[in-house]
């Protein structure tokens, strides 16, 4: 039996390209022995994945499709679990935060986290995830905390809702002394629970290397292409460098809504051959660019509404790579960059000062080396993730999130542990007479994944729903596909085994679903899979080649593909624990696809549903998965 997680990290969207600091933090906590889970309220914005996410052991729980959330709301209302008075209060005071959506999400994650044994919830950013955690706490009693970063608590959240979050939280993490002091001043009654923990950096990813003096000078900047990153100031400073005769190249790595304007500014200033915007790049590539650059620059600014950077992670990464930094005296930046020692700080929007600081460093190789070394020393002393994660772990322990001493999980396996059911479109794509069997299998320890939710979502046995894991949004499965190129190529190679009646698009869609499920099966030690419905056979065929498992199935009707395709789906069993048990209650189906001719081979057929439906199905699963 695998050990349950202690702490769930809850995100509005997960994973997100720009939130490397969150991933670094979770990986460091796992190295310290803290058992984590991740909750993703919404899918990621894109399919880009940093390679190191493969190392994260935490299971990821994705919110189910909207129609399932609505159904769970109805059930929560019937059971008096719906926090009616708290929701009405938030609807009246904070309607712009969409509190009803937050509560629907909270119903799912409250059930999910309670079943998983979660003792504490932590959210990054004072936003939708922290708001959802507040409702989860109200419904389940699970304590929560959150990390306030910058724009989230500066301008995006109603101050009174932020006050409520701070008061209800077990503790609040501020990522800079500057932001801690701002929060403590705004909410003095909760000042004692607002704790400073810097974002930590994994030093191993940013090893300093010497840069030759006599070559083209390289400036690097990294961040979302938004106003308060100040890239427009940096581009204007680059134009000034060109007028001074400096031979340089500047890369601004990132993506965002300001791309069009920044590209136009580069064109207008004649910097097409000097300033480049390559978009989002993998963390390894950014690390390599840091090692190759001469100066890192980030011209942080403050927007009209007060939003600004607080503790830009990329500055810490530059310090870890022993590169001098040019930035501005905004937020917590002076806590990282010591003016005249590890780099230069100029006033926000001071293009002349920015240009002069860059000019001074680009002209003096020894000065760059001196500042870069001093920055690395300061990084080692204050911003290593080993130290920051230790401080965070202490906060979790003090809040009771981690038991004082890890007690081994008692071995009390249920009969069907290591067995999983895979449903197609449900409800609607499954004979309702099988639902009692599924419910009984759940009680006996089996896991259940569903490929798609029917609409309307009205299962005859509602108690099944809270145990279902639905396939996440396609952006998530696409991200996993791109993150696992070797497995993706293997799957693509299997396409040739089927005739043209099986469209390639359908095959590749099934491949993405199967790859996601294979990773889930590995994580949950699944050894046997039972498929429900012919619409799951293709996914199952790919899945059992990715993850060595035995198989069984319940099928009652033919798929849309040819007899040859269907034959391949049934006969293509790899060597080892073969045994594809097929159950059907449809006599015409048996005759139609001539299944009766295969009696006595790898298949056994039952032409009547097991009785009683619950215990009988469990007995069959036990026999098939033995």
Q: Kindly tell me if the per-residue pLDDT of 304 is higher than 70.
A: yes
Residue 291's pLDDT is: 92
Q: Is the peptide bond before 427 cis (omega within 30 degrees of 0)?
A: yes
- Check whether domain 7-200+385-398 has CATH 3.30.465.10, yes or no: no
Give 485: exposed, middle or buried? Use CB within 10 Å, 0-12, 13-18, 19+: exposed
CATH superfamily ID and name for 206-382:
Glycogen Phosphorylase B; (3.40.50.2000)
Higher pLDDT, 589 or 416: 416
Mean per-residue pLDDT of the chain: 89
Higher pLDDT, 8 or 623: 8
Please write the tens of the pLDDT for every residue from 459-516: 989 989 989 999 999 999 999 999 999 999 999 999 999 988 899 999 999 999 999 9
Q: Regarding beta strands 172-174 and 7-13, do their DSSP bridges make them parallel or antiparallel, or are they unpaired?
A: unpaired
On the question of a common fold for 7-200+385-398 and 206-382, the answer reads: yes
End-to-end CA, the chain = 17
| pLDDT tier at 553, thresholds 50, 70, 90 | confident
Q: What is the pLDDT averaged over residues 151-180?
A: 95
Please write the tens of the pLDDT for every residue from 262-301: 999 999 999 999 999 999 998 889 999 999 999 999 999 9
Residue 2's pLDDT is: 62
Q: How far apart are CA 482 and CA 51, in angstroms?
A: 10
Q: Kindly tell me if the per-residue pLDDT of 586 is higher than 70.
A: no
Q: What is the pLDDT averaged over residues 326-351?
A: 97
Residue 404's pLDDT is: 79
Record the pTM: 0.90
CA distances (Å), 329 to each of 130, 326, 345, in order? 29, 10, 6
358: its two tokens: 């860059």
Higher pLDDT, 594 or 467: 467
CATH of 419-625, one of 3.30.930, 3.40.50, 3.40.47, 3.30.40: 3.40.50
Please write the tens of the pLDDT for every residue from 87-139: 999 999 999 999 999 999 999 999 999 999 999 999 999 999 999 999 999 99
Percent of the chain scoring above 70 in pLDDT:
91
The ranges assigned to domains in the chain are 7-200+385-398, 206-382, 419-625
Q: Kindly tell me if the per-residue pLDDT of 143 is higher than 70.
A: yes
Least confident of 164-178, 229-243, 306-320, 341-355: 306-320
Residue 495's pLDDT is: 95
- Residue 34's Cβ-side half-sphere holds a number of Cα atoms within 13 Å equal to 28
Q: Kindly tell me if the per-residue pLDDT of 571 is higher than 70.
A: no
Please count the helices (runs of H) and the strands (runs of E) in the chain: 24, 20
| pLDDT tier at 379, thresholds 50, 70, 90 | very high
């Amino acid at each position: 039996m695998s050990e349950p997680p202690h702490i769930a990290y809850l995100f509005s969207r997960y994973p997100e390209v720009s939130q490397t600091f969150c991933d670094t933090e979770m990986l460091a906590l796992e190295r310290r022995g803290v058992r984590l889970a991740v909750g993703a309220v919404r899918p990621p914005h894109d399919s880009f994945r940093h390679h190191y996410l493969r190392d994260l052991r935490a299971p990821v729980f994705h919110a189910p499709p909207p129609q399932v959330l609505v159904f769970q709301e109805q059930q929560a209302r019937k059971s008096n679990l719906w926090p009616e008075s708290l929701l009405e209060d938030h609807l009246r005071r904070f309607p712009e935060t969409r509190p009803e959506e937050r509560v629907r999400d909270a119903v799912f994650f409250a059930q999910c986290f309670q079943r998983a044994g979660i003792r504490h919830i932590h959210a990054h950013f004072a936003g939708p995830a922290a708001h959802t955690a507040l409702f989860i706490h109200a419904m389940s009693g699970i304590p929560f905390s959150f990390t306030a970063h910058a724009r989230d608590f500066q301008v995006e959240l109603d101050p009174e809702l932020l006050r409520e979050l701070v008061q209800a939280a077990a503790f609040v993490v501020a990522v800079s002394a500057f932001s801690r002091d701002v929060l403590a001043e705004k909410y003095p009654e909760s000042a004692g629970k607002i704790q400073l923990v810097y974002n930590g950096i994994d030093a191993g990813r940013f090893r300093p290397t010497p840069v030759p003096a006599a070559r083209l000078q390289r400036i690097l900047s990294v961040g979302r292409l938004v106003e308060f990153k100040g890239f427009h100031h940096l581009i204007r400073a680059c134009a000034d460098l060109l007028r001074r005769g400096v031979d340089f190249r500047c890369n601004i790595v990132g993506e965002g809504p300001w791309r069009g304007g920044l590209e136009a500014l580069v064109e207008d200033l004649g910097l097409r051959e000097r300033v480049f915007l390559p978009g989002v790049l993998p963390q390894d590539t950014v690390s390599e660019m840091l090692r190759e650059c001469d100066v890192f620059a980030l011209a942080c600014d403050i927007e009209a509404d007060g939003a600004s950077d607080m503790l830009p992670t990329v500055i810490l990464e530059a310090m870890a790579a022993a590169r001098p930094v040019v930035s501005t005296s905004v937020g917590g930046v002076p806590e990282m960059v010591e003016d005249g020692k590890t780099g230069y700080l100029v006033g926000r929007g001071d293009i002349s000062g920015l240009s002069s600081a860059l000019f001074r460093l680009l002209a003096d190789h020894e000065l760059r080396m001196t500042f870069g070394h001093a920055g690395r020393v300061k990084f080692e002393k204050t911003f290593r993730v080993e130290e920051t994660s230790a401080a965070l772990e202490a906060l979790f322990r003090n809040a009771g999130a981690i038991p004082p001493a890890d007690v081994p999980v008692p071995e009390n396996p249920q009969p069907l542990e290591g067995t999983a059911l895979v449903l197609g479109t449900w409800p609607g794509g499954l004979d309702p007479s099988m639902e009692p069997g599924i419910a009984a299998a759940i009680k006996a320890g089996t896991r259940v994944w569903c490929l798609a939710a029917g609409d309307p979502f009205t299962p005859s046995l509602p108690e099944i729903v809270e145990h279902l894991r639905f396939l996440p949004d396609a952006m998530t499965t696409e991200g996993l596909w791109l993150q696992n190129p070797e497995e993706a190529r293997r799957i693509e190679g299997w396409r040739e085994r089927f005739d043209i009646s099986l469209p390639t698009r359908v095959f590749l869609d099934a491949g993405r679903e199967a790859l996601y499920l294979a990773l889930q099966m590995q994580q949950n030690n699944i050894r046997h899979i039972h498929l429900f419905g012919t619409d799951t056979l293709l996914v199952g065929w790919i899945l059992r080649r990715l993850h060595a498992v035995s198989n069984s199935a319940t099928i009652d009707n033919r798929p849309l593909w040819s007899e040859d395709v269907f034959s391949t789906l049934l006969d293509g069993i790899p060597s080892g624990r073969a045994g594809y048990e097929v159950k059907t209650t449809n006599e015409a189906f048996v005759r139609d696809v001539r299944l009766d001719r295969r009696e006595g081979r790898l298949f056994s057929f039952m032409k009547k549903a097991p009785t009683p439906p619950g215990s009988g199905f469990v007995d069959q699963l036990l026999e098939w998965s033995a």
